[in-house]
Amino acid sequence: MKLLHSGKVRDLYDLDGDLLLVASDRLSIYDVVLPTPVPDKGAVLTQLSVWWFDQLADLVGNHLISATDAPAEFAGRALRCRRLEMLPVECIARGYLAGLGLKEYQRAGTVSGVALPPGLVEGSKLPEPIFTPTTKAPVGEHDEFMTFDEVVDLVGAPRAERLRELALAVSSRGAEVAARAGILVADTKLEFGLDADGEIVLADEVLTPDSSRFWPADDWAPGRPQFSFDKQFVRDWSAGLDWDRTPPGPALPDDVVDATRARYVEVYQRLTGLDWTAPS
């Protein structure tokens, strides 16, 4: 197979004209890939995405051809996918205030140009979910918030409207399903592309601990950092280091690796209702 692209977490290969999307155990924070892998992470992202594609099939098509048609060395962490023309927008839907959205709100009272009511704090539930797109920055650079009008300028009004509609619909379904497992979906990042017929379909990963913030509902309390089943745990750990968030990233100690893996596996099991078995 020919390697087409190596990203922060995923490697993309040509497979007989289709694409093979392989999730590694690499972990990135603040757009910096850390030197320490997290065991089973790539497989959790892949298997959880496959599960979500099925949960969302009535809302939006996706790029998945097969989750089993891959070389043995990539077992459990590779997706054979259709080729798409990827749209140059990171589509983020937010139901709660956290992360960069919180920082933007504190600075301007808005996120991606969407005005929010005064008095919100870290972890506040928003009056309704909002679409807060960002740019797709090259590896090593940072995404920037975009207004909806800027998305219109980039992809045209009909596609911008459809991206907002799909992002909010996927987020809403994700929140509904996760709630049954006692989990809040604070926010989620989605990617979409155009298929051969020009239809917008879901691509990459969906509603994983890498692309979303997952909080246990019974521990949610606005006004403080939330316990998270995602890589926010590693971001919080890194805040205590003398690190300027530029490469090279810090190595993870064993206890942080183990705790991160445990969070990824737990959210997989709680969402799907399935026991986790690492692929062999």
Residue-wise pLDDT tens digits, 222-275: 999 999 999 989 999 999 999 999 999 999 999 999 999 999 999 999 999 999
Residues 140-152, mean pLDDT to the nearest whole number: 86
Residues 82-92, mean pLDDT to the nearest whole number: 96
Q: Report whether pLDDT(110) > 70.
A: yes
Scanning the chain, the segments in alpha helix (DSSP H) are 41-55, 99-108, 148-155, 157-179, 232-238, 254-272
Q: Report whether pLDDT(139) > 70.
A: no
Reply yes or no: is the peptide bond before residue 248 cis, omega within 30 of 0: yes
Q: Tell which residue, 28, 17, 25, 20, has the closest CA to residue 3.
A: 20
Sign of CA dihedral 46, 178, 256, 236: positive
Band the pLDDT of 140: cuts 50, 70, 90. low
Over its C-alpha atoms, the chain yields an Rg (Å, rounded) of 18
Band the pLDDT of 279: cuts 50, 70, 90. confident
In angstroms, rounded to a whole number, what is the distance separating the alpha carbons of residues 237 and 114?
A: 31
Residues 102-124, mean pLDDT to the nearest whole number: 96
In angstroms, rounded to a whole number, what is the distance separating the alpha carbons of residues 77 and 65?
A: 14
**Number of residues written out for the chain:** 280
3 state DSSP class of 70: coil
Q: Report whether pLDDT(61) > 60.
A: yes
As a whole-number percent, the residues of the chain with pLDDT over 90 amount to 90
Q: Report whether pLDDT(8) > 80.
A: yes
Q: Tell which residue, 195, 196, 186, has the closest CA to residue 231.
A: 186
- Range name among 115-119, 189-193, 197-201, 275-279 with the lowest pLDDT average: 275-279
- Buried b vs exposed e over 141-155: b needs ≥16 C-beta within 10 Å? eebebbebebbeeeb
Q: Report whether pLDDT(137) > 80.
A: no
Q: Report whether pLDDT(104) > 70.
A: yes
DSSP 242: S
- Residue appearing with tokens 């009272």: 109
pLDDT, mean over the chain? 95
What's the pTM value of the predicted model, to 2 decimals?
0.94
